[in-house]
A and B are shown apart, each in its own frame.
Chain A
């Protein structure tokens, strides 16, 4: 299956900082791109 996580390196680092598994984040951008906001939304459980 798809293996590339569509998130910038800084977004991936933020996810690690916040202990969010980037694999579980739903990207709302073009091509499913994950933004900082998507990571924070996952953390908040929204």
Chain B
């Protein structure tokens, strides 16, 4: 690598993808800088995964306090201090973003504060300085998509960033526009905090990309907990009035319009890649009409020394995908044989129960030409789930019929996200359902349900009748 550049690698963006790329590149002996115009840690740490999970945990504790009456624990005079809740959440964010900064220092990654803008294919401007680099990694992320007619003011009409600040008092009536992961996580938070929440989704089903049976069980549980769900429904416009936000809703099948009043409206209709200010054209980097900067399996853009990772590169827009792609880009630059070759990228909705999946859905597997068999194990038959008061949901396993090769695992249930690690490893290692069934799982644990689902594939589960 030529020594005439300021850096071997300059990473643009310090979100999950960017900081993974910067740290791995530094570990491999490269001279690295990472430019960030906002806060280190990006969306995930600052206004995404982490603060949402903090609120979800708090909401679950509120709900758990209610359910504790089942075994005789009752509270009196309990209060929820909203200011303290927001402060606690912000403290976690601060600790983690500070941690990323410390990791930069420890790995000798130069942190450049400011918007990085390409001058040419080896030069960027950050603030009033220019820096040259042999390679660039674009990790500029994404931002909430807007919806015409619903102008986000971050007070009463909010996007996911505004929704992270719990108002005091908790809104009585809340509308979540968009029945995807973000919409349902906030619906769950606000429901547990005492709001009456309605979720509307334009498409016929919620949580696109998830297995149909899993979505059905998930929806049933969400409705049981009081969340109203309307599919094939859209929000045309919202008007702020003294008594709340008047939202015109339309049934997209019949065209029937109704107006409902809410105290808070969340717009969560997807995210779009963010390339504003980057001036990618100065480097000759292709940006698609939808704003993506596409990359190949080695995360290279059309300009071979410029890489693109995470949300700005492609869907799905998930932190762990960005992290992996950051590592791949850094390793490719360092001359390693890396490639984004993951068999599966897990997806999780962190509600209670969680909805989590990895690999192919039953339908996807059939569409790809696999002959499949499936096995289900319900948490209602799990001793551990009973002791946790969380028996909604199941583990569903999708397997290739002739070879018994695992194709996908879909879980609705408590701690589904943590059970996904085993399923992901099994998929990557090309495990068969038999391999999983022959693995001793600790008893009593929720993870045993994965073993039992594998047994159910062979109609030999022990704790349920096999049909």
Contact = CB atoms under 8 A, between A and B. Distances in A.
B337 A13 contact: yes
B343 A4 contact: yes
B337 A3 contact: no
A2 B370 contact: yes
Among A6, A13, A34, chain B packs the most CB atoms within 10 A around the CB of A6
Nearest to A17: B337
Contacts of A16: 337-339
Given A8-B428, A8-B430, A31 B400 contact: yes
B60 interface: no
Contacts of B368: 1-3
A12 B430 contact: no
B126 interface: no
Contact of A5 (B343, B369, B407): B343
A19 B430 CA distance: 21
Interface in A11-46: 12-13, 16-17, 30-34
Contacts of B427: 4
Contacts of A9: 341, 428-429
A4 B369 contact: no
A4 B339 contact: no
B318 interface: no
Contact of A7 (B337, B360, B370, B430): B430
A31 B399 CA distance: 11
B307 to A, nearest CB: 17
A4 B407 contact: yes
A4 B405 contact: yes
A31 B430 contact: yes
B248 interface: no
A8 B341 CA distance: 11
A1 B365 CA distance: 9
Contacts of A17: 337
B327 to A, nearest CB: 12
A6 B337 contact: no
A6 B405 contact: yes
B231 to A, nearest CB: 30
Nearest to A16: B337
A6 B370 contact: no
B74 interface: no
Given A3-B368, A4-B430, A12 B403 contact: no
Contacts of A33: 430
Majority secondary structure of chain B interface residues (helix, strand, loop or mixed): loop
A46 B432 CA distance: 27
B341 A6 contact: no
A8 B429 contact: yes
A18 to B, nearest CB: 9
Given A9-B428, A17-B337, A31 B343 contact: no
Contacts of A34: 430
B428 to A, nearest CB: 5
A31 B369 contact: no
Contacts of A2: 368-370, 400
B143 interface: no
B432 A30 contact: yes
Nearest to B297: A16
B404 interface: yes
Given A1-B369, A31-B405, A6 B430 contact: yes
Contacts of B428: 8-9
B454 to A, nearest CB: 14
A9 B369 CA distance: 24
Nearest to B404: A31
Among A4, A13, A31, A33, chain B packs the most CB atoms within 10 A around the CB of A4
A13 B190 CA distance: 45
B438 to A, nearest CB: 12
A7 B400 CA distance: 16
Nearest to B408: A4
Nearest to B405: A31
A12 B400 contact: no
A12 B343 CA distance: 11
A16 B338 CA distance: 8
Contacts of B404: 31
Given A1-B369, A8-B428, A8-B430, A32 B339 contact: no
Contacts of A12: 339, 341
B407 A31 contact: no
Nearest to A9: B428
Closest 9 CB pairs of A and B: A6-B430, A31-B403, A16-B337, A31-B405, A17-B337, A33-B430, A8-B429, A1-B369, A9-B428
17 contacts: A1-B369, A2-B368, A3-B368, A4-B343, A4-B360, A4-B427, A5-B343, A6-B405, A6-B430, A12-B339, A12-B341, A13-B338, A16-B339, A30-B403, A31-B403, A31-B430, A32-B405
